[in-house]
Amino acid sequence: MGVSSIGRMSQAALKALGLIEAAARSAETGLGAMDAAEMVGLDKSTASRLLKTLTDAGWLMRDPVSRRYFPGRVLMGVAHATGVSPRLRAVLDATIAPLRDAIGETVVLHQRSGASRVSVAGYESREEIRTGFVLGEARPLTRGPSGKVILALCDEPAPEDLAPQLDFIRAHGYLSTDSDSLPGVSAVSVPVFDPAGVYGALTAAGPEARFDARRRAGHVAELFAVARQVTQILGGTTEHYARWATVDGQSVG
């Protein structure tokens, strides 16, 4: 490959990075193809091709109605992963990874993002058959115990049909479900707090056939213990947990 070819590839890479940066800066309103072209100094046709490539790769997503581009799954994953402070990362490595080993299932930390929750860190089970997760993946708060734990403790409007589950969370501090967010997946979640209130949720998840209700119940107190540690690092108050005195006779407050 000649020097000129390498130079052209380098320029294309820089333009692609410029489009990613432009989309990140326009995350609220979205980025139009013409605006993108002007921002990185490309003609509209070339910019559109690069935008399509980045969309196909998951770095961007295109709204089919407005035809504007927004940060995609991969970019969101990078943003949330790098947004975890070194101190919090050290705590996660020291607490959630051993918790994964103790439970034997995947453990994930989710952060609230508006009406969604995003996976910001996690440790997959070492079992051959296990529940995976996608870093940066966003799901509605109305789906799965992770989202519902957050929904129960924040000011986001909730559908009336979720009232029984949300009332249970407020009374007991956790939620355990089968095939809620995904068919065949069982999970149990507890809340994590920061100075503003509920930060997100700590969740253990595994195949429904293996991670049954009895096993999930046996690990709730452990989840609470780690959630308290993460809450402390985030600057939240652990007094939130005082309302939930015990789980199966084990203190969590």
CATH number of 77-251: 3.30.450.40
Q: What is the predicted pLDDT for the residue at 83?
A: 59
Residue 246 pLDDT more than 90? no
> How would you label 34-57 residue by residue, b for 16+ Cβ within 10 Å and e otherwise?
ebbbebbebeeeebeebbeebbee
Read off φ and ψ for residue 89, nearest 5 degrees. Answer: -60, -40
- Higher-scoring residue by pLDDT: 143, 113: 143
Where are the domains positioned within the chain? 3-71, 77-251
Domain 3-71 - what CATH class?
mainly alpha
The tokens describing 212, both together, are 């049954």
Q: What is the predicted pLDDT for the residue at 219?
A: 95
Q: How far apart are CA 98 and CA 112, in angstroms?
A: 24
Q: What is the predicted pLDDT for the residue at 5?
A: 47
Q: How far apart are CA 127 and CA 147, in angstroms?
A: 25
Note if the pTM is more than 0.75: no
- Locate tokens 């809620």: which residue? 180
